[in-house]
Amino acid sequence: MSKKEACCPVEVTLKVIGGRWKVLIIHSLLNGTMRFNQLQRDLTGITHRTLSRQLREMEADQLIIRNNFNEIPPHVEYSLSPLGHSLKTILMRWTNGEKIMMQEANKSEYFKCVTNCISYSQYTCATQCRCK
């Protein structure tokens, strides 16, 4: 059986940047060129093997550019390609949407808490309510 071909732009995009780490790698590289160990430190919890695999896949998909300086010790830098930079708008919209959703969730928690509290002064913040 052959793999199903992606048929719409959204499906293609999700196929290319899907997974736990690729979006985080892109987000880190938005700040500029980084070496492998810098990326690994920036992405807490990612293993050496997983980062290597993700970077190879992203290079094959032309999201990043791998610049090998052919030095000893090895010196390799990763940066976003123009295609990778084009995802910045999408990532920023996701980030802004997430902030709005969190603000709305905090507002609803605030009103729920205020109505449950005996007095308004008991309310400290949406995440640290004393009446829960």
pLDDT in tens, 35-47: 999 999 999 899 9
Query: What integer pLDDT is reported at residue 118 of this predicted model?
Result: 43
pTM of the predicted model as reported, rounded to 2 decimal places: 0.65
Q: How much is the pLDDT for 127?
A: 46
Residue recorded with tokens 């071909």: 5
**What span, in angstroms and rounded, lies between the C-alpha atoms of 119 and 69?**
65
More confident residue, 110 or 18: 18
Q: Which residue has the higher pLDDT, 28 or 2?
A: 28
On the CB side of 83, CA atoms within 13 Å amount to 11
CATH number of 9-87, picked from 1.10.10.10, 1.10.287.990, 3.30.420.40, 1.10.3720.10: 1.10.10.10
Would you place residue 48 in the very low, low, confident or very high pLDDT band (cuts 50, 70, 90)?
A: very high
**Which position has the token pair 């732009």?**
9
- For 95-125, the pLDDT digits (tens) are 665 556 666 666 555 555 544 444 444 444 4
